[in-house]
Amino acid sequence: MTGRRAGRPLVPAYLSTGGVARPSRPHLERLSVLARSAEPVPAGLPAAQLALLDVLEGGTLTVVEAAALLRLPVSAVRVLAGGLADRDLVLTRAPVPPADRFDPDLLKRVADGLRALKHP
């Protein structure tokens, strides 16, 4: 008889979400930021939601970071976080937008200026 494969969770991800397949907050993305709120934890929360609250105890995490720590798919963590946010136990924030594209003309002028300083 062979043992369980290393790294494979004992409980399938769809069971950790209570069978829910889609998050209640579709705007939650992989890079959305999660933080634990100051609300007290009610009794009777599922183990997976308690585990998510535990990893958020130390500060903020993105959805993908929380998924890695919990060893769950990102889709499952999105469902768990959405459920906790609906109960005001988790605060969510949209991902930080990427910086605007740089201006290639500005970079060329800076490089030209640096070259001029190097060779007077």
Residue 34's H or E segment, with its range, is strand 33-36
pLDDT of residue 6: 57
Tell me which long-range contacts 36-40 makes (C-beta under 8 A, separation of at least 24).
Answer: 36/89, 36/90, 36/91, 37/88, 37/89, 37/90, 37/91, 39/87, 39/88, 39/89
pLDDT at 114 over 60: yes
| pLDDT over 90, % of the chain | 48
pLDDT at 1 over 50: no
How far apart CA 49 and CA 56 sit, in angstroms, is: 11
100: its two tokens: 């605007």
- The model's pLDDT over 26-65, given as tens digits with 9 standing for 90+, comes to 788 899 999 999 999 999 999 889 999 999 998 999 999 9
pLDDT at 90 over 90: yes
* Stated pTM of the model: 0.69
